[in-house]
Structures are given as C-alpha cells and as structure tokens.
Amino acid sequence: MKGKFTKFLVTAMTLIMAFTVTACTGGGNQGNGGGNDRIKIEFRANVPVDAKIPYIQAIKAYNDGQGKIDGVYVNAAYDVPSGNIGQQISSASAQTPNVVCVGDADFKAYASLGYFLNLDSYLTNDVKAAIQWDSIPELMINRYSYNLSVDPTLNKKTAGKGTSVLGLPNGGIPSVLYYNTEMLAEEGINVISIAESDLAGTGYQPHGYAEYKVAPTAGLTASTNNAGQTVYKVFNNKIPMNWEEFRYLMKHMQKETGCTYAYFSEYWFEYGWSVGGDCVGWDEAKGEYVFTLNDKTANFLAVANVTVNGTAYQAGEVLSYEDKQYLHANPTELNDNFYALPSTYEAFLEFNRLGVATNKTTDIDDEGNAIKGYGLAPDNTASVDAYFKAGTSPFVAYRYSSAPIYAQANVKGKFDIAPEQQYRLYKDGTLVEGNDFENIQVKVIGETYNGKVYTGELETVNGTAIVGRAATYSLNYSLSIAKNSDPSEYEASFKFASWLAGPEGQALIAKGNEIIPNQTTIAYSADFLNSSDRVVKNVWAAVYANEGADMGDWAYFDEGSWVTAWSSQLNTNVRKGEMTLTKFFQNKVAQADSALANMGLRVYRR
C-alpha cells in the first residue's frame, strides 16, 4: 500500500516505473577523458535537478583524484529516466552502462529480473571499513538486499535483512516537518533547538511542543494559550511532537491565524511505524503477507532486554508485527517486560482524522458513537504542499529535497524543519481532560491539575521511556552494477561505486540540499550540518529523520499491483469522510489479502 496510495505503482512487465523523484533536464555525457591506461566505465542516473551539479562535481573529483589511483575513468549521464535505465541494463550490449543509480521504487523490479550483480564478494572487511559500512543505517542497507533464487521452504524469493547486497546505498531524502517560522513567531511561540540528549540542566522537558507556566530560561516571550492563560509556548525543532501536542498545536494555529489548513501530509508512516504497525504483515501460518491496517491488537514496546520468537530486542525497541503476533498467540510469554502500545488501527485512525472535516465521521466506536474528523488538513492529496509554499499554512510534512523549491517560493527566508510526529507518553498525559476538540488544551508544565503539579516528564516503565520509533519514509537510491555490463569491468565499476557510496563521495553529492549522506558519522559532522550553503538552518532534523527512515510501501515488493483493488476507495471516500474505516475494511481487506497472496517475495523484518 502507498500512503495515499496509488501514484507509485510499479509494473515490472513494462519496466517503466510510475514513480520518479523529479524529472531532470539537460545533462548528457560528461566526457571521454582519462587516457588509454584507465578503464572507462559508464554511469547512468535519474538525478533530481537540484542534486545534479554536486553529482557532476563529485564524478569530476573522482576522475581527477581517486580514479587515477584506481585506474578508472567515469563517463556519466544524469538525466536518464528510470524506465530507460531498466531497458538499458536488460541485456548485454556495447551500450549497457556499468553502474546505475536506481531509486528504491524501481529496485526490486529490476532485481527480480536478475539485472544487478551480487556485491557480497566485493564487500570485504577492508572495503566496508573504507565505506564506513557500520555507520550506514541498517534499514537503508536492507532496501538493496535481495536473493534472486527462490527459497524452497517459502516458494518465494527473499529480500531485506540477511539477503545478498545488490546495491550500495546512496544517500537519502527523508520526509521532515516543515514549519513557517514567521507564523510561529506571530503567535508568540518560542523556537528552540536542543536535542533530547542535551536537555539536562536546561529547564526544558522532552517535548516537541510544550507550554510552561514559568519560563524555563530567560529571554522567552510570553503569550496567551487557548485557555486564556499567559504561558511560555516552546517549539523544540529537535524533538518530535507526540500525537496530542501536534493535534493541539495545529488547532491552535488554525484558530489564531485563520488559516484554512494548518498542516498537510500525504503519508501515514510516522503514525503507524512509530508503534510498530504497517499496512502489511507476514502471517507465519499462511506463509504470506496479509493486510494489517485494520489490525486492532495492541503493539508492544520492550521495557527490558528480551528475546521474542527468536528476535533479540533492547529495552526501548518496538516489536515487529510478527513478533507481537507471536506474543498474542502465546500469552504466557506476555509479561512485565512489554508495554502495550496503540494498535495499527488506532494509529491510522488518528492520522486519517487529521484530514477529515469536523462534521464528518471517520469511524464508529465500540459504543456506537461517531468518531469525527479534526479538519486540520485537506481531504485529498492534490494540493500536496501548495498551501505551505504560498505561506498560508504553517506546517507540511514533505521531502527534505523540497527545501530548495521552498527557498524560491513565498516562504523564502521564513521556514525551517523539525522531525515528524512520534508516539510519546507523558506522566499524567498530555491534554487537559474533559475538553472537546474545539477547546483542546495541552497541560501547562508547572500548572496544578487535580491537586498535582504537571511536570511534563516522560512516562517510564522499568526505567524505560514509553516512546515509539521516530520513523518516517525516505526516498533512496542504490548504486548497482549492471550484471549485463562487461564482466571484465566489474571490478573497476565497484571501485567507483564504493567511492561514491563512501564518505568522500557522499560528502560531495550531498552539497546540493537534496540528499542526506548515508553514513550517519558524515551526516552528523559539523562540516555537513554547518555548511554555508544549507537552505534550512536545522539540517540536523533531516539527518535525524534519515537515520530511522524506511522505504515507502510503494517499494515493498517487486511491483505495486497489489494496491490497485482497494486504494482508490481509500484515497477518495475514506479521506473525504464519506465512508467509515470499518466499512472500507469490510469492502476491501479480502481483496487486499488476495492480491498480497500473489506477491512472490518475503521481505525479512517486514
């Protein structure tokens, strides 16, 4: 399934993928230099416009430097549509490129057809050390891991954790929460930038948004909240907001600014993934994937170091779908080492309510009461970020690569970024009890409620904070070697690909405000974060998001046809509040399960 949910359908039959990041113009070959003593290889990519110049500079740096040592010279074209790349690597010919940059939406379709060289034998310990392999998030590596042979016990091909590496990760474009700095300032909201690990001794609590009765530090502006109290409003752009404070802040901004919409997001990932939910889950008994957006069973957080169904978890980690299902099936193993989190259904319901009007029903609860929408976002995906670009909406969740575009729009010079929402539980809750949505109010830190001072501290169990995954999607690219290219050039091709995927190459191609380097050590470095050419000030938020980002559901399998039977109804009737979620599930779950049963791929840890 896709976030909203169909525009990224993949058809392996035609090899023309519907999903591309950004169409490119211009480009062409970089040249044919290097001398006769160097192996000349061809690199092909569909590089977004804003990243094109850094790619050109990076490959020039390789040809002028490490390429001389390697004895390799790279000719490159940057504006090749992904479908054309697929056609070029489908067979052996003089024109077959050696190294291709392929988006994760396309990767599995090409991998399933055997178009990529297995890189396991090339990834020696020395190579991994040079690439700083251990600094690349595991989720990013798993995207480009795939076994072409069919597992006889599953009767499926396999991908993900533990399978063969067919591509080196090449940076990421995570989704982040953009905010309008001018609109927040007009409402008296103080913006700070302090990571959760650095809060000790500051007077601030670990909230993305909070209101304080007494200023936690000098120099803050006081203003009036929804309850008419004089408080100090604080937005921390290095900590995700939880669901309730996000909902409150959006409503507060909507009421105070008069904006039609306070927010927009096309995708639900940060809600579902934060508590361990997904739109699909592996059913061990059936030996296939099933649709799980309607799953109402609790998810779990490990509050001790435990092993579940053979998987080791550290305290603070959220269990996978199959392991939480194992606990539900084996209740004798369900003990105080686990804390129950909201279900996948509850997480998706919360997301869906954001874009359904307040006079429409998203679903019916167990007592027969209508669950109304929040009316904070548009009820469709057509406008995407138009309201934010126009400066009429204070928030939008969208790609880091949009920053250069916003820098040329009406919000030029008055926007920054923060992490997206996360499940976070606070002692004594987040909201004032008894208020309806129109009068929603967060508890003020330092204020007394029911005879008790609200501290704003995180809830803990066994010393473990009750916090879900900080998770969002990112767009990523592999650097893969075309198996149909000249085998005598495989080694030369890998030398270049591993350099581009390594620290030097990543630092260069990330200069364009387009991608985050795949190595977290490079991404968190002062050189990257504080570079003078940064479009947003708080690049740290994008690095933080990229570290825990996963592939979007358009990239789960070899192709995306499994969504077509049901996604249109979800994108229209459900999002507009014209059909309840329960009715939708009654209509479409069986169809989704039937489509999933045809997916010939098992993706480990999904």
Reported as a single tens digit per residue, the pLDDT across 271-304 is 999 999 999 999 999 999 999 999 999 999 999 9
d(CA 223, CA 233): 7
Its sign, for the CA torsion 260, 263, 269, 270, is negative
Which pLDDT band, with edges at 50, 70 and 90, does 52 fall under? confident
**pLDDT by residue (tens digit) across 393-405?**
999 999 999 999 9
Which pLDDT band, with edges at 50, 70 and 90, does 384 fall under? confident
Strand 370-372 and strand 361-364: the pairing is antiparallel
Give the residues across from 13 on adjacent strands. Answer: none
- Predicted confidence (pLDDT) at residue 18 exceeds the cutoff of 80: no
Identify residue 543 by its one-letter amino acid code.
Answer: V
Task: Report the pLDDT value the prediction gives residue 511, as an integer from 0 to 100.
Answer: 86
Which pLDDT band, with edges at 50, 70 and 90, does 377 fall under? very high
Give the residues across from 424 on adjacent strands. Answer: 467
Task: Report the pLDDT value the prediction gives residue 565, as an integer from 0 to 100.
Answer: 72
Q: How many CB atoms lie within 10 A of CB 136?
A: 22
Which pLDDT band, with edges at 50, 70 and 90, does 22 fall under? very low
- Predicted confidence (pLDDT) at residue 329 exceeds the cutoff of 90: yes
**pLDDT by residue (tens digit) across 111-138?**
999 999 999 999 999 999 999 999 999 9
Mean pLDDT of all residues in 201-224: 97
Please give, one letter per residue, the 3-state secondary structure of 293-357.
CCCCCCEEEECCCEEECCEEECCCCECCHHHHHHHHHCHHHCCCCEEEECCHHHHHHHHHHHCCC
pTM exceeds cut of 0.85:
yes
In this structure, which CATH number among 1.20.1250.20, 3.20.20.10, 3.60.21.10, 3.40.190.10 belongs to the domain 39-173+475-555? 3.40.190.10
Q: What are phi and psi of 601, to 5 degrees?
A: -145, 135
Collapse the DSSP code of 35 into the 3-class scheme (helix H, G, I; strand E, B; otherwise coil) and give the result: coil
**Omega before 19 within 30 of 0, i.e. cis:** no
**pLDDT by residue (tens digit) across 251-275?**
999 999 999 999 999 899 999 999 9
Task: Report the pLDDT value the prediction gives residue 388, as an integer from 0 to 100.
Answer: 96
Task: Report the pLDDT value the prediction gives residue 409, as an integer from 0 to 100.
Answer: 96
DSSP assignment of 507-554, as one string? HHHGGGSS-B-SSHHHHTSHHHHT-TT-SSS-HHHHHHHHHT-B--GG
Instruction: Find out whether 529 and 540 touch, Cβ atoms under 8 Å.
Output: yes
**pLDDT by residue (tens digit) across 57-71?**
999 999 999 999 999
Q: How many CB atoms lie within 10 A of CB 4?
A: 19
**pLDDT by residue (tens digit) across 455-476?**
999 999 999 999 999 999 999 9
- Predicted confidence (pLDDT) at residue 348 exceeds the cutoff of 60: yes
Q: What percent of the chain has pLDDT over 90?
A: 84
**pLDDT by residue (tens digit) across 177-189?**
999 999 999 999 9
Q: What percent of the chain has pLDDT over 70?
A: 94
d(CA 84, CA 17): 10
The structure tokens listed for 203 are 């007077």
Using CA atoms, how far residue 32 sits from 40, 77, 97, 506, in Å, is: 8, 12, 14, 24
d(CA 149, CA 157): 6
Q: Could you tell me which residue, 30 or 45, shows the higher pLDDT?
A: 45
Which pLDDT band, with edges at 50, 70 and 90, does 514 fall under? confident
d(CA 596, CA 281): 10
Task: Report the pLDDT value the prediction gives residue 28, as an integer from 0 to 100.
Answer: 40
Q: Could you tell me which residue, 8 or 173, shows the higher pLDDT?
A: 173
Task: Report the pLDDT value the prediction gives residue 332, as an integer from 0 to 100.
Answer: 96
Instruction: Find out whether 493 and 41 touch, Cβ atoms under 8 Å.
Output: yes
* Out of 24-28, 76-80, 215-219, 282-286, least confident range: 24-28
For the chain, the farthest-separated pair of C-alpha atoms sits apart, in whole angstroms, at: 83
Compute the CA torsion angle 36, 93, 17, 403 (nearest 10 deg): 0
Task: Report the pLDDT value the prediction gives residue 29, as an integer from 0 to 100.
Answer: 43
Query: Domain extents for the chain?
Result: 39-173+475-555, 300-336
Sequence-ordered alpha helix ranges (H) in 115-192: 125-131, 138-143, 181-186
